[in-house]
Amino acid sequence: MKYSAFTVLREALSGHKGWQPAWRDAAPAPAYDVVIIGGGGHGLATAFYLAKYHKPGRIAVVEKSWLGSGSIGRNTTIIRSNYLLPGNVPFYELSLKLWEGLEQEVNYNAMVSQRGVFNIFHSDAQRDAYARRGNAMRLHGVDAQLLDRDELRRRIPYLDYDNARFPVQGALLQGRGGTVRHDAVAWGYARAADALGVDIIQNCEVTGIRQAGGRVTGVETTRGFIGAKKIGVAVAGASSLVAAMAGLRLPIESHALQAFVSEALKPLIDHVITFGAGHFYISQSDKGGLVFGGDIDGYNSYAARGNLPTIEDVCEGGMALMPMIGRARLVRHWGGIMDMTMDGSPIIDKTPVENLFLNAGWCYGGFKATPGSGFCFAHLIAQGAPHAAAAAYRLDRFAEGRLIDEKGVGAQPNLH
């Protein structure tokens, strides 16, 4: 069933009796050509691009809980490609271009809103760093604009420009950045993949990866063994646990990241705005809630919740940047589990086990990467060679010393 204005009108006039489930509730078949572990954004995107562009045969996505129950529904919904390093910029720009065509490609309203991402700077040194970043982006064909204080004040008048410690000096703007309705991304990819014949198997937890002669033969699950010629792992947050089933250790620590939503307000914050002197980022959802977040809690965790010191730190950052939000009441906060890698960049690569492919280590940048990650991971699984845009995301870069460390802080996951 194709979604369109005409479909909505037809259903409105016929009592809404014609709507169908967006995807089948598939039961596992005995074997598939490709099994993707993880029914979140990245796994579903991978299945969709595999089915659409590579047609490797029968494809299944196995998900331990309900579809989209992990980080795809726990993020702050921001998309952008304002990176600095050559290994990162082309990948995130590919992802942003895929976002721009996503709704047409999957025929689903994901509410892609390119409202602009403003990275605020607060000192001369930070202006230099942001100018450099903007130049790196433009050299890669990405839009970037350095705004001075007056221009920024014209566009966003409510910042605390004369804050004694962190005066606002200007911003680096990526106008094509913005937000996307996060759950709709999972649902849209799921529906489009299902329409191409992908089996989406929910409540089916992988408990083991079966191998013979150094290559995978399938997955043990809570719903029985499922044979697979190729297996793709896209389970960020639990990557180390699934990799351990195949005898692998990863350069990853799992950390909790918290996010927050205020009570619904009338339209107030028109863009995505980030604080440069601390870690705080905010946008306003279409329901009116201010959606914001900051740093990870900073210690290993598989509990999807955090602690108070980080909440205080995030709120202090917000108050230093825009004191007007201080009277908005917080209505919800939650935690998700991040794959924090040792250099802050992701991994899309083969593994030492033949036909086992790994998509992991998204730190807290996984949401914006969803289409690019799926696109490149599908390419890797189908072709056996990395996509050009993701060629730097190798698992052996740690041993080789080819790290992609945007922040330049070294092998310390809680600093990325």
Partner 1 sequence: MRIACPHCGERGLEEFSYHGDATVKRPTDGGAAPTQAWTDYVYFRDNANGPHEELWYHAAGCHAWLVVERNVATHDILRVTQA
- Catalog residues that contact partner 1 under the rule CB under 8 A: 238, 240-241, 244, 249-254, 298-303, 307-309, 312, 342, 398-399, 401, 411-414
Block residue for tokens 């004040």: 153
Two tokens, residue 262: 């205020």
Question: How far from each other are the two terminal CA atoms of the chain, in whole angstroms?
Answer: 43
Task: DSSP for 179-197, please give it.
Answer: E--HHHHHHHHHHHHHHTT
Min CB(338)–partner 1 separation in Å: 12
Q: Which is nearer to partner 1, 100 or 316 (CB)?
A: 316
Q: Which is nearer to partner 1, 18 or 352 (CB)?
A: 352
Two tokens, residue 40: 């979140």
Question: Residues 318, 166: contact at Cβ < 8 Å?
Answer: no
Min CB(347)–partner 1 separation in Å: 12
Min CB(120)–partner 1 separation in Å: 25
Identity (one letter) of the amino acid at 354?
E
Count CA atoms within 13 Å of residue 106 on its CB side: 31
Q: Which is nearer to partner 1, 253 or 349 (CB)?
A: 253
Min CB(363)–partner 1 separation in Å: 14
Q: Which is nearer to partner 1, 95 or 301 (CB)?
A: 301
Q: Which is it for strands 59-62 and 78-79: parallel, antiparallel or unpaired?
A: unpaired
Query: Any bridge partners for residue 225, and if so which?
Result: 220
Question: Residues 275, 321: contact at Cβ < 8 Å?
Answer: yes
Min CB(173)–partner 1 separation in Å: 34
Q: Is the dihedral of CA 102, 104, 106, 110 positive or negative?
A: positive
3-state secondary structure of 138: helix
Min CB(69)–partner 1 separation in Å: 17
Q: Which is nearer to partner 1, 194 or 253 (CB)?
A: 253
Min CB(136)–partner 1 separation in Å: 26
Q: Which is nearer to partner 1, 53 or 299 (CB)?
A: 299
Identity (one letter) of the amino acid at 178?
G
Task: DSSP for 273-296, please give it.
Answer: EEETTTTEEEEE-TTSEEEEEEEE
For 68, left (φ over 0), alpha (ψ -120 to 50), or beta? left
Cβ contacts of 364 within 8 Å, gap of 6 or more: 75, 257, 296, 338
Block residue for tokens 């990799």: 243
Q: Which is nearer to partner 1, 25 or 396 (CB)?
A: 396
Q: Which is nearer to partner 1, 199 or 343 (CB)?
A: 343
Q: Whole-angstrom Cα distance, residue 330 to residue 258?
A: 13
What are the phi and psi torsion angles at 255 (to 5°)?
-130, 155
Radius of gyration of the chain (CA): 21
Min CB(239)–partner 1 separation in Å: 8
Q: Which is nearer to partner 1, 51 or 314 (CB)?
A: 314
Q: Which is nearer to partner 1, 117 or 256 (CB)?
A: 256
Min CB(356)–partner 1 separation in Å: 17
Min CB(307)–partner 1 separation in Å: 5
